[in-house]
A and B are shown apart, each in its own frame.
Chain A
């Protein structure tokens, strides 16, 4: 999980003598009440920290405001809340990333089928539009919530929060969150899932991993799918694996064929799901 950055308010905003006035002749900073008095160079200590503030004389006055406002904070906080909700109900959540057509939905279908009877599974299917993916997973007997993003290229923690509110969390052990087909934007938005897996398929060509190294940063498992087509595509699957391990040595790499279910037991093992 990313660390959640607290908004740090500038102590200057609370400082009683703010704003300070700049005396260009003496080149020192003074609270307003000292302006016409005998000049003493001073340092302002706020909460133990010494901070200097430059205020330029202008037709108005210029103020420097330290915001430290994290632009991703809102999503990170929501992701943290999602995680707490999932933990409260002992649900293990897996975020599944991959390009369009890499086989995310087929992998989820296979996982749901293979885990039937062992875990009570559900899925959140993220897509721009349509319920095609959700319907496909539902066929396999798991409750599915469709999260349509409209035009956005990624799921965010808020969409997952909404989807979670529609699931019966009391009767669930495992949740698969299928992200929107994209290997860039979803990387920025943690959802609150416990682990992240990345699906790449041989039909995407031999360079998928090296072209998207940053998405592996937070991943624990890489699935190399459509291995049956590797020959026709002239893709060396071992090279893909080497690329992944070169970028992140502790990744678990599994080879699968989503259509036939080949490699799914190995994938389940690699996911190291909590014991039931």
Chain B
């Protein structure tokens, strides 16, 4: 549900920037979404496409990148991916918010919670 507001935010930001740059067309939009956010990329993409309809970004190529979750362990200084168990029974992946090396819960998520527009490509005439 909240994908709609995120998509709206993408549409507004891109079109505002394009207007500021006096663009005649938006060629591509690159968005990064962390896998630890609660956002479904397909849904965001659908709403962004809908939002761009009838604008100079209508034909823009949309690039969505899913950013892996990375943590930093404050105990053993591990820096790397979160442990995610694939459970075919539940048909889901089950993340563990503790250090995969020393099992400590004193961790900090350093990557994977972002939702940002990395860059846009515009055409000026």
Contact = CB atoms under 8 A, between A and B. Distances in A.
B2 A154 contact: yes
A207 B94 CA distance: 12
Interface of B: 1-2, 5-6, 9-10, 13, 17, 21, 23-25, 27, 36-39, 87, 90, 92, 94-98, 103, 105-106, 109, 113-125
B122 to A, nearest CB: 5
Given A2-B113, A62-B27, A246 B96 contact: yes
Nearest to A250: B105
Interface in A200-221: 207, 210-211, 213-214, 216-217
Contacts, number: 112
A63 B121 contact: yes
Nearest to A60: B125
A247 B92 CA distance: 13
A38 interface: no
- Specify the main secondary structure of chain B where it touches its partner: mixed
Nearest to A217: B97
Interface of A: 2, 5, 58-72, 152-154, 184-185, 187-189, 207, 210-211, 213-214, 216-217, 246-250
A151 B95 CA distance: 30
Nearest to A151: B1
Contacts of A58: 123
B13 A69 contact: yes
18 contacts: A2-B113, A63-B21, A63-B122, A67-B118, A67-B119, A68-B118, A68-B119, A71-B10, A71-B115, A72-B115, A152-B1, A152-B2, A210-B87, A210-B92, A211-B90, A211-B92, A217-B97, A246-B94
Contact of A247 (B24, B95, B117): B95
B38 A248 contact: no
A214 B121 CA distance: 33
Given A71-B9, A217-B97, A65 B37 contact: no
B104 to A, nearest CB: 8
Nearest to A188: B38
A187 B13 CA distance: 23
